[in-house]
A and B are shown apart, each in its own frame.
Chain A
Amino acid sequence: MACAMCSTRAPDGKAAMSELLNIDDLHLEFHTYDGVVKVLAGVNLQMRRGDVLGLVGETGCGKSMTALSVPRLIPMPPGRITAGRVTFNGEDILSKRESEMEAFRARHVGMIFQDPVTNLNPLFTIREQLVDAVLYQQAQGKKVPGRWRGFSPSVRQLRKEAHERAVELMRLTGIPDGDKRIYDYPHQFSGGMRQRVLIAMALAGDPDLLIADEPTTALDVTIQAQILRLIRSLVAQLGLTVLLITHNLGVVARSCERVAVMYAGRVVEESPVRELFRNPKHPYTRGLIAAVPQKDVHRGGLEGIPGIIPNLINPPAGCRFNPRCEHVMDICRESVPPAIDVGAGHRASCFLYPEDA
C-alpha cells in the first residue's frame, strides 16, 4: 500500500514517452449579455508523460479555461466549445458523456486551485474529504459503499485501507502528525497546510496528470516557496506529469521544464524554459520577460508592455497582439500567424520568422 505511489503507473498500452494530452485548435466562447466573448481562439498544447509544463500569461488570457477544458469543468452554458479537440491518452474527451467524465476525472486527472481556504469544504473533517477522494478515485466512477454500511467486514476493511492511504498521502505531502491531524477540520489548518491537503486529495488516485491552477497565488511568499518545493519533489519522487498555470515567470523558471506563453486566447510561444528566457522570440514574450523586475537594475521604474489586453468580444483581426506590437506589419492585421519552429523544441506564432526556418 505504502509504495503504490512510488511506482509510476504502467501507461495504458502505450510507450512511456507517448503523448498524454493533446489540445488541438480549441475554440471556446462565452455567451454574456454584452456579447459573445471569444475566450479561446485556437489553443494548441501538447504534453507527454513526465512533462512539467508551465502555462503563463496575464489575467484573462485563457490559461485557466484551457486547463479546465481537460477535466471538462468549464461551465456550459454560458461556455460553448465551437471547434477543436481535446484528446487524453488518445481518448476524445469532448465527446464523452458526463458520467464517463466522472470516471475519467477520478482515474486520470488531479487538480489543485488557487485558494486553499475556499477549496476545502469547511463542514467536513480532512479525514472525510481525503478518504472520499481516495475511495472515489480508486473506484473510478463505480459505486462506493457508504459509511453507513460499516457493519460489513469488507466495507470496513476498504475504509480502513482508505484511511491508511489518506494518512500516507498526508505524510507524502509533508503534513506533520497526519495520523492525528486527519481528524481536524479545515479551519484548524494554516493556508499552506490546507494547500498540502488539497494536493494530497488531488494525488489520491495516482493521477496521470496534475493540473495546478495558480497553486501559490493566494499564499504568502515563504509558503509559496514551500509549496513549489513540494510540487518539485513530488515530480521527482512520483514522476508526475504537471500542467502548472501561473502568471509568475519566476515560478516557471524554478519549477518547469517547458513553458507555453498564452496571449488573448492563443498560445503564442512554446519552448524549453532556459531557451525561452535566453532567447524569447515572440514580441509579447519579450515584453513579458522585460517586465520582470530585476534586482540589479535600480534605475528607472518597472518596464511594461504598452497598451492593454484586447476586448475579447471584438478581438483584433489577425494576430491578437498586433495593436500592442512594435514590429506590427500589414499581414499581422489580416491573418493569424501559424506556429513556426524557431529552435530546438521552440515554436513561436509570429510573422517575424520565416516559415521554413
Chain B
Amino acid sequence: MNIRFYILRRIALVIPTLIGLSILTFSIARIVPGDPVGLAAGPRATEEIKEAFRREFGLDQPLPIQYINYMTGLFRGDWGESLYTRRAVINDLRVYWPATLELTTAAVVIATVLGVPAGVISAMYRNRLPDHVARVLSLFFVSFPSFWLAMIFQTWFARDLGLFPIGKRLPVLVSPPAPTTGLFLIDSLVQLDLETFLISLRHLFIPALVLSFGAFASITRITRASMVEALEKDFVRMERAIGIPYRVIIFKYVLRNALIATITVISLNFGWLMAGAILIETIFDWPGLGLYAVEASLSLDFQPIMGIAILYGVVFSVVNILTDIVYGILDPRIRYG
C-alpha cells in the first residue's frame, strides 16, 4: 500500500471523527442544566433582553438547525463568538492556542530528551545504581502533584535564586515578536531577534520543565521496560557473539525496537499535557488555552467550548496520524492499508 494514499485516507477519516466529536460536544454543551443566556445577560435582565439574546445567537431555533448553522459557519471560518466578551472565538483561539502549543511541545521535548536516555541507561544497568536512581526519580515525579512542584520551583528558581522569571511568556516591557506562528521561540528566530528568543526561552523553561515531569516519568518507564524486553531478544546474543560492540547493539539495534512503544507513550502524553496544562498555566500566569477553556466551561459559554473541542480534536488526530507514520518508519513490517 502506498504511503501517500494511506495518509490521504487517514486524513479523510478525520472528518467523520470530528463530526462525531462536534455532535457530542454540541449536545453536552446544550444539555447541561443552567441557562447560559441568564448568566450572560446578568441577574437583572428582563425577559425581553434574554429573548433578544437568544434570537441574536440563534438559540430560539430547534437544536438540529442550530447545529447545522454552527457547522456551516465553522467551514466559513466563523467559529461563533463568546456570549460575554463578544469576541470571535477564532480570534481568541489564535491568541491563546500558540501559547499552550509552545508550552506543551516544549514539555514533550524535554520529557523525551531526558526520558529516553534515562530509560536506556536504566535498562543497561538493570537493578544497579543508575537504574535505581532513574526509577526513584520517575516515581518521585509522578507522585508529586505538578502544581505543588510548580510553586516550589517558582519559589526556588524565581524568587530565591532569581535565575528565571516568575511567570508570563514575556516581560511587560518586551513586545512579542510579530506573529507568524504565534510561537514566540519560532517567531523571534524567524526575525533573527536573538534577544527576544532568549528571553522567551527563559520564561518558557520552568513551566515547561514542571509540566514535563509526569511525561518524563512515563517515558522513562516505558523505555526501560521495552529496552529490557528487547535486550532479551535472540538477535542481541547473536550480535554480541559475532563481535558487534555492546554500545552499538544498544543504541542502534535495540533502541529502535524499544522506541515503538515509547513513541506511543510520547504521543499520548502530548494529548494529556495539552489538556492538563491548565494548572501550570494558572500558576505561571501563562496566557494559554487552559484558562480560557475553564472560564468558558464555568459560564457555559458554548461557542468557545465548541471551538476548543474541535481544535483539540484536530490536534489529536494529527498527532495520531504522525505517530502511525513514525511506526512505519521504525518498523518495516508495518504495512499501510
Contact = CB atoms under 8 A, between A and B. Distances in A.
A32 interface: no
B243 A123 contact: no
Contacts of A103: 243
B332 A185 contact: yes
A118 interface: yes
A107 interface: yes
Contacts of B235: 118-121
A213 to B, nearest CB: 9
Interface size class of A (residues with CB under 8 A): 35 or more
Interface in A174-202: 185, 187, 198, 201-202
Contacts of A310: none
B193 interface: no
Contact of B243 (A106, A122, A124, A198): A106
Interface string B239-266: 1111111101000110011000000000
Given A121-B235, A187-B333, A137 B242 contact: yes
Interface in A116-166: 118-125, 132-133, 136-137, 140-141
Contacts of B333: 122, 185, 187
B243 A113 contact: no
A109 interface: yes
B238 interface: yes
B332 A105 contact: no
A121 B242 CA distance: 14
B253 to A, nearest CB: 5
B132 interface: no
A322 B244 CA distance: 43
B256 A132 contact: no
A230 B331 CA distance: 31
B257 A136 contact: no
Contact of B253 (A115, A121, A137): A121
Contacts of A198: 238
Nearest to A102: B245
Contacts of A187: 332-333
Interface size class of B (residues with CB under 8 A): 20 to 34
A237 to B, nearest CB: 20
A118 B243 contact: no
B330 A121 contact: no
A204 B235 CA distance: 16
Contact of B234 (A110, A115, A124, A133): A115
Given A111-B238, A122-B333, A123-B332, A205 B243 contact: yes
Nearest to B246: A102
A201 B253 contact: no
Contacts of B234: 113, 115, 118-119
A73 B234 CA distance: 12
Contacts of A102: 243, 245-246
A78 B239 CA distance: 21
B44 interface: no
Nearest to B332: A185
Nearest to B240: A73
Contact of A73 (B241, B248, B253, B330): B241
A187 B334 CA distance: 11
A124 B253 CA distance: 8
Interface in A65-119: 71, 73, 98, 102-107, 109-113, 115, 118-119
B4 interface: no
A119 B238 contact: yes
A105 B257 contact: no
> By CB atoms of chain A within 10 A, which of B242, B244, B245 has the most?
B242
Contacts of B257: 121-123
Given A121-B253, A185-B333, A111 B239 contact: no
A105 B242 contact: yes
B241 A109 contact: yes
Contact of B256 (A71, A105, A118, A123): A123
A109 B243 contact: yes
B233 interface: yes
A245 B103 CA distance: 59
Contacts of B330: 123
Contacts of A122: 257, 331-333
27 contacts: A73-B237, A73-B240, A102-B243, A102-B246, A105-B240, A105-B243, A109-B241, A109-B243, A110-B242, A111-B238, A113-B241, A121-B239, A121-B253, A122-B257, A122-B332, A122-B333, A123-B253, A123-B256, A123-B332, A132-B248, A132-B252, A136-B244, A136-B248, A137-B242, A137-B243, A187-B332, A202-B242
Given A118-B233, A119-B238, 20 more contacts: A73-B237, A73-B241, A103-B243, A105-B241, A106-B243, A107-B243, A111-B242, A113-B234, A119-B237, A121-B253, A122-B333, A123-B253, A124-B256, A136-B243, A137-B243, A141-B245, A202-B241, A202-B242, A205-B242, A205-B243
10 nearest A-B residue pairs (beta carbon): A106-B243, A111-B241, A105-B243, A118-B234, A119-B238, A121-B235, A185-B332, A119-B234, A136-B244, A123-B256
